[in-house]
Structure 1
Amino acid sequence: MTLYYNYLAKYKIPFLIAVLCVTLEAVCDLLGPTLMARIINQGIEKGSLAEVYYWGTLMLAVTLLGACFAVTRSNLASYVSQRMGGDLRADLFGKIISFAEQSGDKIDGGSLITRMINDTSQIIQFINGMMRIFLKAPLTGIGSVILASWLNFRLSLIIYGVVAVVSLLIYASMKFSYPRFYQLQKAVDRVNLKVQEYLIGIRLVKAFGTYEQETEKFAEANRELMQKGISSQMVITLISPFLTLVVGTGTAAVIFLGSRLFMMDLADLGDMMAFTIYMAQILTSLIMITTVFTTFVRTKASMERIGEVLDCAEDFAPSGAERKLQGKITFDKVTFAYPNGSGVPAIRELSFTVNPGGSLAIIGPTGSGKSTIAWLLLRFYDADRGRIMLDDYPIQELGADEIRHNIAIVPQKSMLFSGTVAENLRWGDKQASPEELRQAAEKAQADFIGQMTEGYDSLLGSEGVNLSGGQKQRLSLARALLKKAPVLILDDATSALDAVTEAKVRENLKHNDYRQTLLIITQRCGTAMSADQILVMENGREAGLGSHEELMRACAIYQDIYHTQLQSSREA
């Protein structure tokens, strides 16, 4: 809760003004029945029109003043809650952007979206309600009890009993509702995740015709959400009638006992009417307090879920330095297992060195740890044992900005964003001129850009849905080349290209205008042969290291890969 007090502290003055307005509004509401009692007791019963005018005018003035306070606190409540919600969403997004890789593995994307939108909205509604209504309910309830006791203590004993029973019912509601609302939010996560998965893989679903399976998966998640929703509301649904029954019984008892006291001249008519109104205000306050606690239970669950995100580990901090490295890469007996994974190391005792301007191809069966090398080099994860160095600097001594400024990557899955072609390419260099864009595209064999309707200003859909796999790979490569980083990682970056286009790309990389260390992760021996050295991986270990000719003489695994691919090529 301290976290949210800190957010509210930024808007302390408007919040305090709103609280003052709510308090004064409650005072005005409480004065109404008392002033009405004066009109009846001192005006109507005594036949004094002057008293009626006096107390009636005063009652009207108090009502108008209360309305002014209500308008002010409503505006302030909306301002504070929406500003706080905006700050919270911004901080959540900033936190997610700075997530350490293991934090992203811990909370899936669907849950993060739910927490940023649904849970934040729940907190905004609670803050807004707290400033507008939630503070008013206990003030009005307590004030009504005090003023009702002052009017007639005998009748007020009934109110004390009603308040005691209602308090027990509210406690029971909170105790049984909270775990159900927490499970409800988790069910919302699962529905969002299913929708997100479908939207991302919609083409694959269509290609495999798995509509029925996906519909059934969503139906199951939706059914679970429905059941959790019913379960969370069940407690409130059961307790609400008991609350109404208890308060209704108390009101009937007040009217019955009040009439007896009136007949015995122990209560005035005006006091009786005022007491009945106070009883109604107490009823309204108790119902509102029940709603407050129900809302608080949901908000508490949302606060905990948002707190989980804000407490996640962040990526290591940038150093602020801007050293331009030469591009030497060293792995020295590196062992690493993915956090929260199977515990089996993805790479074991791995050692190799790539000198500046050199090239190393990494080849091996699927799951042999090839891409893991790239993630460790970018320091998305830290090695469990061993050392990784850039230019003889241990990467733990380098900041995030230094490492990632000096490394460009073309990932296995080409990721493009909605916007123009030029905007996507300028991820590599924000200040790149049109000529530099053209040169990078030419080196990446992305000549198709010139054939697009608007050229470099052509709009791309989310994830580049309006491009083929090969076109997306070439744009990703052009983007990485624009960065002109000392180290370039190609993670199966030409898998969608034909042999001729790939050969041209490799040739262009060899004749770059700037010296660049290449780390080529590939499944193809033809691609690997273009590198100075080839590292063969198997089960996370080095199975061979050397040139193509050396590996063909000494590495059985490489021989198998080569002959298998050669056989497939001949059969094709």
Structure 2
Amino acid sequence: MLKLFRFLNVYKLAIAIVLLFTFLQTLSELYLPTLMADIVDIGIIQGDVTYIWKIGGFMLLVAAGGTLASVLASYLSSKVSAGFGQTVRKKVFVHVGNFSLQEFDKIGTASLINRTTNDITQVQQVLNMMLRMMVMAPMMCIGGIIMAISKDAQLSWVIVGVIPVLSLAIFAIVAKGMPYFKVMQAKLDRLNLVLREGLSGIRVIRSFNRTDHESKRFEQANEDLTNTAIKVNKIMAAMMPVMMLVMNLATVAIIWFGGIRIDNGDMQVGSLMAFIQYAMQIMFSLIMVSFMIVMIPRAQASAVRINEVLDMEPVIEDPAAPRTSASARGKGVVEFDHVTFSYPGAEKPALSSITFKASPGEVTAIIGGTGSGKSALVSLIPRFYDIESGSVRIDGVDVREMTQEQLRAKIGFVPQKAVLFSGTITDNIKYGKEDATEQEVRHAAEIAQATEFISGMKDGFESMIEQGGNNVSGGQKQRLSIARALVRRPEIYIFDDSFSALDFKTDAKLRAALKQETTASTVIIVAQRVSTIMDADRIIVLDEGEIAGIGTHHELMASNQVYREIVSSQLSEEEIA
């Protein structure tokens, strides 16, 4: 957790002021019992009303000063902890934004969300507590002991006997409860995972009547977390009764032995009253320490998880001395040279010895069976993953020798699963080019065959898209995703099975419009439907991660068995002829 506190450097002055005000508040609380003792021993016993008013007024001033210091310390500590939380959340979010898909696969989206929200909140709360209690508790304990001894050294032996008993009870309870806090964080991750899957996959769940199954999954994860929380809370709940029992027994002992000392003339009534309050302050300081001991391990477990994210170095990094292609804009030649790639932990490569070249003004299509490596291949161009061997070059420059920003600025990528963001249709299309004009947005939508359904919506291009694009169909999502890539006007277009939700008529119109729009760009299309890629200048047939053939439709029909099998499975003999 100390490692995270490096983000507190900007709050040094505020922290110093918090510590100062907490110190003043503690002094105030330690001084009040002595003033009360003086009122009793001098003012009341001697009947000095003037002295009572004088010291009473001074007590009010001390109490008011302590209260003011407490309010200011609470305000500033809350401000510091909230600012710290904001800073760490921003750092985590920005750092995660640099992750490759490999890091996302390793940690998991649900866990990343939990670490960015719940874990940072845990550390933030403990920081707020530490800024106050970390100074107050030891000061109050040590100051209380000194003041109690100054009132009556002999009676202080009661406190000496009580403190080890109270400390031992606190230690035993905390030691038993601490392991459960780490377990709770892992179980909270599991609950978030089940909840996320249940909400994002609600259509599938309902279509297969698996609502009861998902409810049981959630109930199991929820019950597992609840049972662990109940266990730890039962353990920690024992702390307060035990401490109150010890404190009350200590009070009884102080009054008992204090009464004897008063009767013997060794102590005054006011001093005994002050002594009792100092004893309570000492024991309450131990209670504060116990709360910190309870909270710190939980925050430490959260801090470890946050640091895991911050310390995780992305596998894909920008080169120290990036290169740029010497060619003018409008090129975009993509070359794969004996490329081999494996997913992390995979037993065999997803792609083996892939070699081909895609040039501007041409359409290069990639087709193959499920799991043949089509999506893996196109994900290497924008460098979502790094290759094992060989090279992927754009305009003669290896993608690993370019910055990710330079590389991706050349590419208009339409993913296999269309992703839309909450906001207007215009906002979603402008995601591809932030400064796109209204004319560019409308032109991109027209090419993507999206204008017709957009104009049918209530507010046209200003119509709102719900979270996840739930208020538009799959085909409409795909067309808006395509428009988002088109408005960018990149050198390289990558369509990863981006026409699968379109009907044949819309598909044909869209490809015809794209052909006119992308004459100067390199177009790479991944498709399952043969009809989508029959007119491509080059078709690459993948089979189990290897190239089974390259050529035009007619060339492959004549020479490639794998391609013929794909075609015959989709088209009738008349259509093939």
TM-score (norm 1): 0.95
Contact 1:28 1:63 in 2 (8 A): yes
1:516 to 516, 521, 546: 521
Q: Does 1:374 align with 2:378?
A: yes
Contact 1:184 1:232 in 2 (8 A): no
How far apart are 1:4 and its partner, in Å? Answer: 2.9
How far does the alpha carbon of each residue in 1:497-542 deviate from its partner, in whole angstroms, 9 at most, with x for none? Answer: 1112111111122212651111111111222222111111122111
Contact 1:407 1:488 in 2 (8 A): yes
Contact 2:324 2:397 in 1 (8 A): no
How far does the alpha carbon of each residue in 1:74-106 deviate from its partner, in whole angstroms, 9 at most, with x for none? Answer: 221222122222222222221222222222112
Q: Does 1:30 align with 2:30?
A: yes
SS in 1 for 2:3: helix
How far apart are 1:38 and its partner, in Å? Answer: 1.5
- Corresponding residue of 2:349: 345
The size of the alignment, in residue pairs, is: 569
SS in 1 for 2:147: helix
Contact 1:327 1:357 in 2 (8 A): no
How far apart are 1:66 and its partner, in Å? Answer: 0.8
How far does the alpha carbon of each residue in 1:139-179 deviate from its partner, in whole angstroms, 9 at most, with x for none? Answer: 21221112112211222122123222333333334433333
Contact 2:535 2:553 in 1 (8 A): no
- Corresponding residue of 1:443: 447
1:113-128 map, 5 Å: 113-128=113-128
SS in 1 for 2:493: strand
CA–CA distance in 2 between the matches of 1:431 and 1:37? Answer: 74
How far apart are 1:322 and its partner, in Å? Answer: 7.8
- Corresponding residue of 2:497: 492
- Corresponding residue of 1:225: 225
Structure 1, unmatched stretches of 5+, are none
Contact 2:324 2:402 in 1 (8 A): no
1:440-479 map, 5 Å: 440-446=444-450, 447-479=452-484
Q: Does 1:57 align with 2:57?
A: yes
Q: Does 1:277 align with 2:308?
A: no
Contact 2:361 2:518 in 1 (8 A): no
1:2-41 map, 5 Å: 2-41=2-41
How far apart are 1:10 and its partner, in Å? Answer: 0.8
Contact 1:37 1:274 in 2 (8 A): yes
Instruction: Name the amino acid aligned to 1:76.
Output: L
- Corresponding residue of 1:106: 106
CA–CA distance in 1 between the matches of 2:514 and 2:309? Answer: 41
CA–CA distance in 2 between the matches of 1:221 and 1:303? Answer: 23
Contact 1:19 1:131 in 2 (8 A): yes
1:98-497 map, 5 Å: 98-314=98-314, 315-317=316-318, 324=329, 326-339=331-344, 341-446=345-450, 447-497=452-502
Q: Larger deviation: 410-419 or 81-90?
A: 81-90
- Corresponding residue of 1:504: 509
Inter-CA distance 89–63: structure 2 relative to 1 (3 Å threshold): same
**Aligned-CA RMSD value:** 2.1
Contact 1:362 1:534 in 2 (8 A): yes
Instruction: Name the amino acid aligned to 2:220.
Output: E
Contact 1:486 1:515 in 2 (8 A): yes
Contact 2:362 2:519 in 1 (8 A): no
CA–CA distance in 2 between the matches of 1:433 and 1:43? Answer: 84
CA–CA distance in 2 between the matches of 1:65 and 1:158? Answer: 32
CA–CA distance in 2 between the matches of 1:45 and 1:126? Answer: 46
CA–CA distance in 1 between the matches of 2:196 and 2:209? Answer: 18
How far does the alpha carbon of each residue in 1:265-310 deviate from its partner, in whole angstroms, 9 at most, with x for none? Answer: 2222221111111112222222222112112122112211211221
Contact 2:424 2:464 in 1 (8 A): yes
